[in-house]
């Protein structure tokens, strides 16, 4: 009798865009990935090139494409090769300009006494890849503690940053939210985080101190700190399966880089995820990277992730992550309340969400609720 195979913890089939097989081969290039799609046996023709170009650009895979081209595993014509090199150089130049923005923000944080860690693209490029220019990014992501969030936001605003969205009241994101995005002069974006992701798992993680001891990074003349490898893997798993960037393969590649032998201690990272209440996210990220990039499935963490059985609550939280169907907003509010650590926090969240200055009055809420009941009754007729 064959063993029952559990459904994926996170089904990315409806989230990740359809890309040519060669793009998945590029995303896995350089990994020990025995099940990754193979590269074409011959040169990419003009029809294939159009789709390849579009996907590589959308997926920010110029660096890995250049590496595959330089090593001769991806074959294109001379003119196409020049286009790849030019695209990669342009993307690297944008990353270098983002690094200059990071330097200014980092100096402001140091002056204000705000401790921070670099996340996602900058951290991955500098810590995980042999050549940082292979891992491209389009903004700067920084993590601060919740109690420092509003002060850190003030630093970014003082540097000319324009906040993309307001909040119901001052302090809401610092206590309950995930992040705030800012546009700096020149069109560069800084995302200021207090936790790894939206939703109940992000809320659960955000009730802990996520910064840790830090991993020093020399960023071309100035030093910042990234997360240590184990918390970095937890954050990368969030980014890969729950973040706004799930549409890209590159976050899964970051998870795969951290799964290389010796990068993280499996026992330590699982214990850390358990302490933060996000074990299911770690398992989902490891499982998805193994599946989507064709990694070997017999590593310690891959076996653990494949055998992990989420609780009913974890299963519900995971299922709602990418669900756009009816009633999902109500379920997400319920999940957020479940994830908050105390009754005091839950009451504060409800007050901040529904009874903030300028919120609809109770009479308005009753009218809207009654109308909703009427519409549902009409549909049932």
CATH of the domain at 175: 3.30.460.40
Contacts of 85 (CB under 8 A, 6+ apart): 66
Q: Measuring CA to CA, which residue among 258, 101, 126, 96 is closest to residue 191?
A: 101
Q: Domain for residue 353, yes or no?
A: no
Rounded to the nearest angstrom, the gap between the alpha carbon of residue 299 and the centroid of all alpha carbons in its chain is 23
Q: Is residue 30 part of a domain?
A: no
Whether 37 is in a domain gets the answer no
What's the whole-number mean pLDDT along residues 240-262? 91
pLDDT digits (tens, 9 = 90+) for 130-183: 999 999 999 999 999 999 999 999 999 999 999 998 887 788 899 999 999 999
210, 196 contact by CB (below 8 A): yes
Tell whether 140 is covered by a domain: yes
How does pLDDT run across 83-115, given as a tens digit for each residue?
999 999 999 999 999 999 999 999 999 999 999
Strand spans (E) along 82-239: 116-119, 140-144, 162-163, 179-184, 188-193, 215-219, 222-226
Q: Please check the confidence at residue 363 and state whether its pLDDT lies above 60.
A: no
- Domain assignment of residue 76, yes or no: no
Domain for residue 85, yes or no?
no
Q: Model-level pTM greater than 0.75?
A: yes
Q: Is pLDDT larger for residue 363 or for residue 117?
A: 117
| Residue 227 belongs to domain spanning | 100-341
How does DSSP classify residue 218? Answer: E
- 227 inside domain: yes
User: pLDDT band for position 373 (50/70/90)?
Assistant: very low
Confidence of residue 43 (pLDDT cuts 50, 70, 90): confident
Name the domain count of the chain: 1
Question: Has residue 273 been placed in a domain?
Answer: yes
Q: What is the pLDDT of residue 41?
A: 84
């Amino acid at each position: 009798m064959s063993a029952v195979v559990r459904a994926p913890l996170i089904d990315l089939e409806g989230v990740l865009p359809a890309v040519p097989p060669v793009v998945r081969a590029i995303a896995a290039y350089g990994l020990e990935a025995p099940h990754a799609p193979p590269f074409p046996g011959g040169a990419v023709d003009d029809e294939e090139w159009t789709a390849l170009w579009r996907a590589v650009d959308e997926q920010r895979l110029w660096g890995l494409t250049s590496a595959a081209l330089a090593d001769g595993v991806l074959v294109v014509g001379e003119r196409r090769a020049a286009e790849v090199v030019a695209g990669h150089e342009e993307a690297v130049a944008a990353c270098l300009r983002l690094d200059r923005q990071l330097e200014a923000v980092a100096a402001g944080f140091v002056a204000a006494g705000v401790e921070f860690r670099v996340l996602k693209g900058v951290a991955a490029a500098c810590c995980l890849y042999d050549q940082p220019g292979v891992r491209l990014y389009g903004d700067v992501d920084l993590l601060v503690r919740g109690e420092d969030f509003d002060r850190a936001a003030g630093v970014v605003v003082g540097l000319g940053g324009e906040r993309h969205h307001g909040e119901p009241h001052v302090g809401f994101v610092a206590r309950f939210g995930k992040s705030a995005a800012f546009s700096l002069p020149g069109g560069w974006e800084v995302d200021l985080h207090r936790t790894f992701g939206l939703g109940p798992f992000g809320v659960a993680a955000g009730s802990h101190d996520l910064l840790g001891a830090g991993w020093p990074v020399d960023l071309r003349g100035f030093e910042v700190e990234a997360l240590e490898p184990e918390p970095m893997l937890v954050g990368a798993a969030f980014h890969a399966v729950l973040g706004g960037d799930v549409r890209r393969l590159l976050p899964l590649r970051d998870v795969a880089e951290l799964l290389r032998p010796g990068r993280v201690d499996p026992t330590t990272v699982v214990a850390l995820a358990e302490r933060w209440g996000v074990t299911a996210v770690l398992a989902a990220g490891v499982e998805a990277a193994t599946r989507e990039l064709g990694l070997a499935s017999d590593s310690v963490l891959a076996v653990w992730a494949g055998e992990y059985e989420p609780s009913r609550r974890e299963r519900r939280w995971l299922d709602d992550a990418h669900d756009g169907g009816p009633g999902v907003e109500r379920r997400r509010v319920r999940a957020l309340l479940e994830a908050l650590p105390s009754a005091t926090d839950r009451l504060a969240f409800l007050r901040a969400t529904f009874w903030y200055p300028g919120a609809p009055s109770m009479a308005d809420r009753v009218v809207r609720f009654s109308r909703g009941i009427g519409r549902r009754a009409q549909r049932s007729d």
